[in-house]
Amino acid sequence: MKNTLQNHIDKEIPFLKQKKLLLAVSGGLDSMVLLDLFLELEYDITIAHCNFQLRGVESFGDQKFIQDYAEAHAIPIFVTQFDTEAFSKDYKLSTQVAARELRYNWFYELLDTEKFDFILTAHHADDNLETFLINLTRGTGLEGLTGIPEQNDKIIRPLLFSSRLEIENYAKQHNIQWREDSSNASDKYLRNKIRHHLIPVLKELNPNLITSFLKTESYLQESLAMVEDAAVMVYQQVASEEGDTIHFDLNQLLKLPNYRSYLYQWLKEFGFTAWNDIYDLVDSQSGKQVFAVDFRLLKDRDFLILSPIIHSETQKEFFVNENQTEVKIPLNISFSKVTDISVATNKTIFVDADQLVYPLLLRNWKTGDVFMPFGMDGRSKKVSKLFKDEKLSLIEKENTWLLCSNDQIVWIVGMRADHRFRTTNATQNILKIDLI
């Protein structure tokens, strides 16, 4: 098995060589075999052990077992203890999810503070099969059927090619000691039910189940790669990016017979889950939205517009003092005193500096805002009416900034200046304001 692992590393994950590796070791069969193999292959390894304190004395027995092993083999080790049950209760998570979150948060903390290159876990082919079956019973797409990835960011699972039986045989042949987790015998968890009851039946039907499964996984991964390639090609025809906003052209999208699949591929990474609502959005009236935690999808005439949600705590007001010549946040705007006026544009205005009251204020538009558009001889107009005339989407409205003086709008930045701050023949000090 050692040679098989080395050949697999050479072919599939050669970047592990000469790297500083953190091995997640529970003390169970799989992780102890992983530890032995990488020790035998003379990689630069360090042990990380989590005591979740879920099995009383048994949990502390696992911890001592690992610490003794590390000391006997002169392997560096990090150990931590978690009050997993309290964390689970505080954050309303299942015990398994809580343990996973605590474990990987700590691993990544070690990765950062101790400068490890990769985290290695002992997942194997049987774990992958169990995950496949769990996802299958819950309902899943192609991604859910491709199982556990060998690499996910800095996490590497080098034993996915091996079965549990092969790992157990290696342990017995090399007299490797391990700790049995008593919770593995319980049918409390879905994974254990599948492991104890379903997989033995499948193996009875097909003694080469794991080999067949690994072939199936390979085919599914190839299919997924093809789907992802197609999604990238079609994206270039349908989507246009403007800063952190993406516009999907519905006229182009609806030409595709399977447009829902493409929407799923493009939007899944943004945290959306209400897929039927997203698919219905295509035929909805303008203004309808679907939300994820940090993003939203808006129907605006012939487009679906994806944008980040600006949470209220991130919305701020920005002040401009009298002697400032520029601001960088939230927009790049310059202020300069000039002696004459050139052509004004949407991005350049000239105002009577003596009419300004400092500090000026940059803020977002609010419902009820009123201004006096330049050129309308002092007649007022609601900012919302201007937005409607300009056919701005909701997202564009929310991203519009107002430059204000003493609660009066000087400029709807990038759009219209206010009549009250115009220059006249009597103006003595002219201020030029540029949106860069």
Could you list the pLDDT tens digit for every one of the 436 residues in the chain?
A: 999 999 999 999 999 999 999 999 999 999 999 999 999 999 999 999 999 999 999 999 999 999 999 999 999 999 999 999 999 999 999 999 999 999 999 999 999 999 999 999 999 999 999 999 999 999 888 888 998 999 999 999 999 999 999 999 999 999 999 999 888 888 888 999 999 999 999 999 999 999 999 999 999 999 999 999 999 999 999 999 988 899 999 999 999 989 999 999 999 989 898 999 999 999 999 889 999 988 999 999 999 999 988 765 445 789 999 989 999 888 899 999 999 888 888 899 999 999 999 999 999 888 889 999 987 777 899 999 999 888 888 888 888 999 999 989 999 999 999 999 999 999 999 999 999 8
Question: Cα 285 from chain centroid?
Answer: 29
With a CB cutoff of 8 Å and minimum separation 6, the contacts of 278 are: 263, 267, 272, 290, 297
**Residue type at 97 in one-letter notation:** V
Residue set of the binding site: 26-31
Residue 183 tokens read as 């919770």
* CA distances (Å), origin 222, targets 1, 215, 274: 26, 11, 27
Cα separation, 202 vs 284, in Å, equals 46
3-class DSSP state of 364: strand
Q: What is the pLDDT of residue 315?
A: 54
| Run of H or E including 266 | helix 259-267
With a CB cutoff of 8 Å and minimum separation 6, the contacts of 322 are: 358, 359
Q: What is the pLDDT of residue 391?
A: 87
Q: Which of 132, 143, 171, 115 is nearest to 2 (CA)?
A: 171
Q: Are 30 and 124 in contact (CB under 8 A)?
A: yes
Residue 174 tokens read as 């090399």
Strand partners, 417: 411
Cis status, amide bond into 200, omega within 30 of 0: no
Residue set of the binding site for ATP: 26-31
Cα separation, 230 vs 221, in Å, equals 14
Q: Which of 410, 314, 400 is nearest to 358 (CA)?
A: 410
Triad 338, 342, 347: Cα angle to 5°: 95
Q: What is the pLDDT of residue 398?
A: 82
Q: Are 370 and 380 in contact (CB under 8 A)?
A: yes
Long-range pairs, 283-291, Cβ under 8 A, ≥24: 287/394, 289/394
The pairing of strands 360-364 and 416-417 is unpaired
